[in-house]
């Protein structure tokens, strides 16, 4: 596992890295796991995927650096919608702290649960004692799998923290904004959203379309990032 120490690093605002540790992932023989397994197997494969054209576009768009994308989005919102420099500094500080602490939270869960990624789970599906998860030894994800466990998703932790930070700062969820892709191979360079929660929801689907995560790992991570942002704003984000 890459950077296993990250889940125990001293955070900016949290009491500890395990403060918002996710609940255990579903059992390998459960209906939820079976449903999630077959979803990512169908939609997240490198070849013979059931992704449609729109889904393929989303997978490419978000195939770049999530931290870079979220920082650009945060900075762009401050530049476009915040007039006073002290308010801008407050947004940038709170948003960045929330995203950083969300990463610590994510790595704590990854190291604690050490849950296998779809690429391993699908290739070795015959070993999970679940007759409804047929193995495919040749299955490969749309993107190369990073060298750390599935549960929970770093991209969704960071995006959940970003989107919740923005909704808390602007005191609303519905607010048009634009995200730029950091993937030079993406034909679509920008995507427009009507709500902050729209981006958070899209990132859940994205990591499945890329073959990198099970849905339960994405959703748990989005919830973690949301909770971290709420903690940051309630404990260090008060206006003075």
Q: What string of pLDDT tens digits covers the 240 residues of the chain?
A: 999 999 999 999 999 999 999 999 999 999 999 999 999 999 999 999 999 999 999 999 999 999 999 999 999 999 999 999 999 999 999 999 999 999 999 999 999 999 999 999 999 999 999 999 999 999 999 999 999 999 999 999 999 999 999 999 999 999 999 999 999 989 999 999 999 999 999 999 999 999 999 999 999 999 999 999 999 999 997 775
pLDDT for the residue 237: 74
Q: Establish if 137 belongs to a structural domain.
A: yes
Q: Establish if 126 belongs to a structural domain.
A: yes
Q: Establish if 16 belongs to a structural domain.
A: no
Q: Establish if 37 belongs to a structural domain.
A: yes
CATH number at residue 149: 1.10.606.10
Q: Establish if 198 belongs to a structural domain.
A: yes
Q: Establish if 240 belongs to a structural domain.
A: no
Q: By three-state DSSP, how is residue 160 classified?
A: helix
pLDDT for the residue 22: 98
Total domains present in the chain = 1
pLDDT for the residue 240: 59
Domain range enclosing 123: 30-235
Which pair of tokens denotes residue 17? 């890295």
- Output Rg (C-alpha) for the chain, integer angstroms: 18
Q: Establish if 10 belongs to a structural domain.
A: no
pLDDT for the residue 221: 98
* Sequence-separated (6 or more) residues with CB below 8 Å from residue 216: 25, 26, 32, 33, 36, 151
Q: Establish if 74 belongs to a structural domain.
A: yes
Question: Using CA atoms, how far apart are residues 118 and 106, in angstroms rounded to an integer?
Answer: 18
pLDDT for the residue 185: 87
Q: pTM for the full model?
A: 0.96
Look-up of token digits 């007759």: 131
């Amino acid at each position: 596992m890459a950077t296993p120490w990250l889940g125990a690093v001293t955070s900016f605002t949290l009491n500890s890295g395990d403060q918002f540790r996710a609940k255990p992932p579903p059992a390998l023989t459960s209906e939820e796991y079976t449903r999630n397994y077959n979803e990512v197997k169908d939609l997240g494969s490198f070849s013979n995927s059931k992704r449609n054209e729109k889904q393929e576009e989303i997978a490419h768009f978000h195939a770049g650096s999530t931290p870079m994308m979220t920082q650009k989005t945060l900075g762009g919102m401050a530049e476009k919608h915040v007039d006073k420099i002290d308010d801008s500094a407050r947004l940038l500080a709170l948003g960045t702290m929330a995203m950083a602490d969300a990463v610590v939270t994510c790595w704590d869960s990854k190291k604690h649960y050490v849950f296998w990624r779809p690429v391993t789970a699908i290739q070795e599906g015959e070993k999970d004692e679940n007759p409804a998860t047929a193995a495919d030894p040749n299955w490969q994800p749309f993107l190369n799998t990073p060298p750390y466990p599935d549960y929970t998703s770093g991209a969704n932790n960071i995006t959940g923290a970003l989107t919740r930070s923005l909704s808390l700062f602007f005191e609303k969820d519905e607010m048009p904004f634009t995200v730029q892709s950091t993937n030079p191979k993406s034909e679509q360079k920008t995507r427009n959203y009507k709500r902050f929660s729209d981006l958070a929801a899209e990132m859940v689907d994205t990591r499945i379309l890329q073959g990198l995560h099970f849905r339960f790992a994405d959703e748990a991570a989005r919830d973690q990032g949301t909770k971290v942002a709420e903690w940051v704003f309630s404990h260090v984000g008060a206006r003075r």
